[in-house]
Structure 1
Amino acid sequence: MSYDLAVWEGKRPADDRTAGRVFNDLYDRYLDGEDEQPPSEYIAAYVGALLERWCDITEDVEETSPWAAGPLIDEARGPVIYFTLRWDRAEEASAYAAALADSMGLVCFDPQQRQLRP
């Protein structure tokens, strides 16, 4: 079992419903298509900051990484990253990821709950 988060560049949507539409649009445009744009500068910096806290799962010899897939940067396209966390680490890691996104001026959205993360 895993837990997903999406983080993107842009103005924070006014409400969860609008955020859901923005997420769906970004997913369709950048993640579901065949056009594999490299991550934007801001998203790459965000991934770098996440990996300063926890190593990439591809390098995790002690099994402490919260990422369910890797390399983590491979989950990013253009202005968005949609990534999966291990369920047993999701609470701590998702809280950190959401706070980090906010501190970097990025939007964090929980696709399962269809809500913005504070």
Structure 2
Amino acid sequence: MTWTLKRNTDQALMSLHSQYHWLDEYDWSSLKQSAPVYTLSGAVDIQQGTMLAGRPITLDCTNARIKRSELEQLQAWVQMPELTMTLTHPDDRTFTVLFASPALTDITPVKVIRAGDEHPDDKFTANINLLTV
């Protein structure tokens, strides 16, 4: 079971390493609340509402690797404005997402690669930052 990211425009599919970890899965709540505002009579006004989108999905690379060719493909996808995708969790949950800004962070080669010795299968670590829409 792996993570998959599918572009909704043309169904192009990318499988991501199964060891990616959803870093902020439990840091978000759809219930949002305004700061308390006190009226002249001393009453308090607090507004609450349910967020319909905007949940961050940060795929942490601590234990995951991504190939140079896949990283280049993701970088090309990042350049497409308003690109929506379907992210499928390894447990089969699906989310409609777009890239957050910045989209890719902590990009680091697993081993030192000299200029000119690059290969499409070179391994990197890279966090992938998404938002639900």
TM-score norm. by structure 1 comes to 0.28
Structure number, greater radius of gyration? 2
TM-score, length of structure 2 as denominator length: 0.26
